[in-house]
Amino acid sequence: MRADLNSLVVFSNIIDAGSFSEAARRLRMPVSSVSRRIAELEDQLGLRLLDRSTRSLRLTEVGSEILVHARRSVEVREAVTGIASNQVGHISGTLSLSAPPSICESLVIPMLREFQAENPDVRIRVTVTDRVVDHIGDGVDLAFHVGPLKNCSLIARRLLTFRRRLVASPCYIQNSPPLEQPRDLMNHRVLTFAHWRPDASWKLRHVSGPDQECVAVISHLEINDFASLTAALLAGVGVGQLPPFVRPDLLSNGMLCEVMPDWHFHPSELWLVHLCNRHVSPAIRSFRAQAGQTVRRLFPNLQA
């Protein structure tokens, strides 16, 4: 049995769009064609990929597994298109990006370095901000976005699924009460990342099963900047959570340690989004294709 590449691309777009009709709009195809593609793909595989009603879509278990490879099919197609475009036409001009400060050093800058090495005539303007940008008003071509997407008019590519980790310095751990269960946080100095408003509680799930705990967090220090929060953690001020792309070297070299490794925060997502324009510039198309490849190389243990 063989899966049609174009049908896999349609399947990926349906999940990202959340509906057949929105996927059809993004792909500039009739809804009937989108439905036919999925029916043909399921027939080819002999599997049901989606449970669907008039109002909702839900991936089957095997559909979730196939989606991972379908998204890679999209990236392969765009990468091939980008290579062809580079051969046919020289990429130049200005590319405007926005990104939160937490991912700039370890993720965005390496991406830009590699992209400009291959496209030296593309000028890049980066706006570092945690706010949700207005793509038209702010003149932003591509935006990195952490968390759930609320604007369905944007074209979005999920770059990473990650979980924040609870960390502290070895010095703090050695001189503090044991930290084995979420409830033990009540006996510790807790540092929180406060973006607009602080977290009132932390929800954690045990790796071995469905057990969950919700802990009311009393923050001893609130900071809206991960770089400053990291500095406080290194200084032994307390225990706090960091995304895996904020100074990953600190965990690998032992300057910070993960505490309660069997209790996990709920996963978050990193997206690359742009306006739903009919004609996407070669620079945007090329950067999107390369971004997916770069992020998998930089963080191979995180799910794309």
Reported as a single tens digit per residue, the pLDDT across 84-110 is 665 555 688 889 999 988 788 888 888
Span 158-192, pLDDT tens digits: 888 888 999 999 999 999 999 988 999 988 999 98
What is the reported pLDDT for 23?
86
What is the reported pLDDT for 304?
47
Residue 204 phi, psi dihedral angles, 5° rounding: -130, 150
pTM of the model: 0.64
Query: Do 226 and 282 share a domain, yes or no?
Result: no
Query: Do 25 and 54 share a domain, yes or no?
Result: yes
Query: Do 242 and 105 share a domain, yes or no?
Result: no
- What CATH number has the domain bearing residue 45? 1.10.10.10
What is the reported pLDDT for 240?
94
Alpha-carbon distance of 20 to 31, in angstroms, equals 6
What is the reported pLDDT for 255?
96
What is the reported pLDDT for 191?
93
Which residue stretches of the chain are H helix?
A: 5-17, 20-27, 31-45, 61-88, 109-118, 170-174, 226-234, 249-252, 282-298
Query: Do 154 and 272 share a domain, yes or no?
Result: yes
Query: Do 153 and 199 share a domain, yes or no?
Result: no
Handedness of CA 206, 196, 234, 247 (dihedral sign): positive
Tell whether 244 is covered by a domain: yes
Residue range(s) defining the domain that contains residue 293: 91-159+268-298
The Cα-based distances of 253 to 185, 245, 247, 248, 262 in angstroms read 25, 15, 11, 9, 21
State the Rg of the chain over Cα.
Answer: 22
Tell whether 255 is covered by a domain: yes
Alpha-carbon distance of 205 to 163, in angstroms, equals 11
Query: Do 203 and 247 share a domain, yes or no?
Result: yes
User: In the chain, how many domains are there?
Assistant: 3
Low-confidence ranges of the chain (pLDDT < 70): 1-3, 54, 81-90, 151-153, 195-200, 277-279, 303-304
Burial class (CB in 10 A: 0-12, 13-18, 19+), 154: middle
